[in-house]
Structure 1
């Protein structure tokens, strides 16, 4: 049995891959639309990347494999300065 770096289930990854097929969009095309390297998307979908931070985390969020950082369940886990970092410069 192959060990994957991510904590995503095989069902989650399978679901993400099937959504590409159902939409008729290639992984490379999706990656280009979202400004990420196709190789990184393939790496995330193959479980070779931990997706704990940076671009791989961003890809996992875009694919729906991880919760977005601004979701209530994630905000409650972040220290105060990280949870409110997005709102610091956004007041009008």
Structure 2
């Protein structure tokens, strides 16, 4: 089984946006998410535990898409 990469922090995601010249609004539009919801995940107002916030966190690389099975 391949090892999963460590999830990114919000600061790492924001830094990657700065390096690539991509705005949060551009990223949200490209991935079909409301920009406000993306800002909420990046700024910690939404924890990304379930629903759309979880989908956003997974797409940003802040969470893994699957739970580990024991």
TM range (shorter): 0.7 to 0.9
Task: Give TM-score scaled by structure 2 length.
Answer: 0.83
Where has structure 1 moved over 4 Å in runs of 4 or more? none
Q: Kindly name which structure, 1 or 2, has the bigger radius of gyration based on alpha carbons.
A: 1
Aligned length: 63
1:16-67 Cα distance to aligned partner (Å, 9 max, x none) = 1000011111000000000000000000000001211110000000111100
CA distance in 1, matches of 2:20, 2:53: 22
5+ unaligned residues in a row in structure 2: which ranges?
1-7
**Aligned residues: CA RMSD:** 1.5
Higher relative contact order at CA 8 Å, sep ≥6: structure 1 or structure 2?
2
5+ unaligned residues in a row in structure 1: which ranges?
1-10, 78-92
